[in-house]
Amino acid sequence: MIKALFANDDILIIDKPAGLPVQPGEAVGISVLDAVERDYGFRPFLVHRLDKETSGCLLLARTSRSASFYSSVLSSVSTRKVYRAIILGRPKPEKGVFDSDVRYRGKALSAKTYYKSLEIWDDLSLVEAELGSGRTHQIRQHFARAGWPIAGDDKYGNFGQNRLLAKNLNIKRLMLYAFSLSIEKPEKIYAEAGLPPHFEDFFKRRSGNTV
């Protein structure tokens, strides 16, 4: 059963597992929409999206009206969407902001991502990234462009290093998850995802290994 992080009469915030697509499609066995209907007895409406391989906080609406309302709520400057990731290398400076266009379907779209380092090893770092805009793949593109690609990223990452990470640390998934979601209005809501299993495995294997 998919874990609920918050629920009221309008919305449900879940801890989406990695590897589960948010909506049905070709070659999709089960999606978030299917799983929520199975587990909670209603067919949800998507308010925002996470990549198939990105786990963590995902807000779903119970009605189309709620979906429209919370879509504007999530785009408000008072709403905070925070992600955590394992990246290759160490950010310099350790805290900063990416403010550059990202590419989506051939278009250049303005995007802003705030980041800070939480823990640094010789070859990898744990970072936190907060969205200043909501562009598809903006965190993945921004870190890759800065020279610190997210571990396990098979689209924007360092493919040679990914192979070594898979061999040495069993990293076979994108090391990115939606850590928390904070909403101020119409009511204060805070949801925080649990540490994904592939992150738990990484931290267990990290000791004594190098890439």
Return the CATH number at 156.
3.30.2350.10
Residue 181 burial by CB count (10 A; 0-12/13-18/19+): exposed, middle or buried? Answer: buried
- Note the Cα 111 to chain centre separation in Å: 16
Specify the number of domains making up the chain: 2
Burial 5-35, CB ≥16 within 10 A → b, else e: bbeeeebbbbbbebebbbeeeeeeeebbbbb
* Residue among 51, 122, 153, 154 flagged as catalytic: 51
Q: How many CB atoms lie within 10 A of CB 137?
A: 17
Same domain, 20 and 58: yes
3-class DSSP state for residue 148? coil
111 found inside a domain: yes
Look at residue 211 in the predicted model and tell me its pLDDT.
44
For the chain, the distance separating the N- and C-terminal CA atoms, rounded to the nearest angstrom, is 35
Q: Where are the alpha helices (DSSP H) in 42-196?
A: 64-74, 138-145, 159-169
Same-domain status, 173 and 98: yes
Instruction: Assess whether 201 carries a catalytic annotation.
Output: no
**84 in the same domain as 21:** no
Prior bond to 186 cis, omega within 30?
yes
- The H or E element spanning position 36 is helix 32-40
* 168 and 110 in a common domain: yes
In a shared domain, residues 8 and 36: yes
Q: Give yes or no: residues 15 and 99 share one domain.
A: no
Domain co-membership, 173 together with 84:
yes
CB 132 within 8 A of CB 97: yes
Tens digits of residue pLDDT in 76-116: 888 999 999 999 999 999 999 999 888 888 898 888 999 99
Residues 122 and 186 occupy one common structural domain: no
Is residue 208's pLDDT more than 80? no
Same domain? 89 vs 169: yes
Range of the domain at 95: 80-177+202-206
| Residue 151 lies inside a defined structural domain of this protein | yes
Residue 64 resides in a domain: yes
Q: Answer yes or no: do 95 and 137 share one domain.
A: yes
Q: What is the pLDDT of residues 27-72, one digit of tens each?
A: 668 999 999 999 999 999 999 999 999 999 999 999 999 999 999 9
| DSSP SS3 for 211 | coil
Residue 211 in domain? no
Helices (H), 100-172: 138-145, 159-169
- Tokens 């989506």 belong to 104
In a domain, 24, yes or no: yes
Q: Tens digit of pLDDT for each residue in 123-161?
A: 999 999 999 887 889 999 999 999 999 999 999 999 999
Handedness of CA 37, 71, 131, 134 (dihedral sign): positive
Q: At 121, list the tokens.
A: 């090893």
Decide if 125 is inside a domain.
Answer: yes
Determine which of 119-128, 156-165, 201-210 has the lowest per-residue pLDDT on average.
201-210
Residues 170 and 143 in one domain: yes
99 & 64 share domain: no
The pLDDT score that the predictor gives to residue 26 is: 65
